Structure 1
Amino acid sequence: MWEAVPRLLGGNRYLVLATADREGRPWATPVFFAARDEDRLFWVSAPDSRHSRNIAGRPDVAITVFDSHAPVGGAEALYLEAAAGPADDPVAALTALNARLPAGKELTGDDLAPTGSLVAYRADVRGHFVLVRGGDARFDNVTDARLRVTRPR
């Protein structure tokens, strides 16, 4: 079921980023993203946004990627466990993001701190899981479940 991972990453523009502050209070937010590959995702955010502050104090994050327009009963979803932080290569982050942005909306280095208001972030994925819908004939599941998937060798 690994084939769902690159398809969902390439076919969706937004992810839901779940963070928690140092005390464990959760926060979830949608962000526009680009995937370098199945193991590294990029986005830009203001460093003073709640999710960015949470990442600074607790870099473990959970991510969900899905098509919110899918009909009921037809959903697919990708769940990721990752560590997040400022991108170690902001140029690579901007390149990946700009490849997904419409003409005229591209980001430049001037958009990034210290001169700009944004920081390029990255998530290093440690675990990939896909949605297995309830009643899937391949599995003995009545309700929806998540299945850990790994890259074929």
Structure 2
Amino acid sequence: MSLPEDLDELARAVIDENRYMTLGTSEADHRPRLSPVYFTHAGYRTFYWVSSPDARHSGNIAARPEVALVVFDSNVEIGQGRAVYVDAVASVVPDDDLPRCCAEAFPDAGPGAVAFQPDELSGDAPLRLYHADATGYEVHLPGRDPRNAAGIDTRRRVHPVKQT
């Protein structure tokens, strides 16, 4: 199986077909902190997830908002890896923006997913809505792909956001 010619389309497909991403934040001592989170996205620009503000990754975001995201398909055969790497800036969604952002993040919750309402993510509620606004994207290009002259797995910069 070869990857599609259009690597931008590959990035969109990987993001659309997977529900979990690895969120990478930085600890105060610069060590990485990796957390798997269920996510949704809006137009491949903004990635949303719900988390406790007491979680370590949430505290890391409050102190150091630059994050890295990886969305990947873990079900493919060896050598057929498909992944999207996203550089982003993350923060908690302010209460005033919750109505708009909840509508954007949860337009049609799938099986087992929760379409949170603003009152479930504010006040005394134990969870908050977070978002990461993408600043750059790369896709995984396996060494076996004929476009990869080096023959070694690498990354290629892509632009999956559709221009309107």
Question: What is the TM-score normalised by the length of structure 1?
Answer: 0.90
- Do structure 1's residue 53 and structure 2's residue 59 form an aligned pair? yes
- Which sits farther off after the overlay, 123-132 or 79-88? 79-88
Aligned to 1:149: 158
- Do structure 1's residue 74 and structure 2's residue 83 form an aligned pair? no
- Do structure 1's residue 106 and structure 2's residue 115 form an aligned pair? yes
Q: What are the equivalent positions in structure 2 for 1:81-100 lying under 5 Å apart?
A: 81-88=87-94, 89-95=97-103, 96-97=105-106, 99-100=108-109
Aligned length: 153
Structure 1 residue ranges, 4+ long, deviating more than 6 angstroms after superposition: none
Structure 2 residue runs without a partner (length 5+)? 1-6
- Which sits farther off after the overlay, 77-86 or 100-109? 100-109
Q: Does the C-alpha gap of structure 1 residues 8 and 100 become closer, same or farther in structure 2, counting only changes over 3 Å?
A: farther
Is the partner of 2:50 in helix, strand or coil?
Answer: strand
- Do structure 1's residue 126 and structure 2's residue 135 form an aligned pair? yes
Q: How many Å separate the matches in 1 of 2:109 and 2:100?
A: 13
Q: How many Å separate the matches in 2 of 1:44 and 1:144?
A: 32
Q: How many Å separate the matches in 2 of 1:63 and 1:33?
A: 11
- Which sits farther off after the overlay, 8-17 or 100-109? 100-109
Report the RMSD for the aligned CA atoms in angstroms: 1.9
Instruction: Name the aligned partner's letter for residue 28 of structure 1.
Output: L
Structure 1 residue runs without a partner (length 5+)? none
Deviation at 1:98, TM superposition (A): 5.3
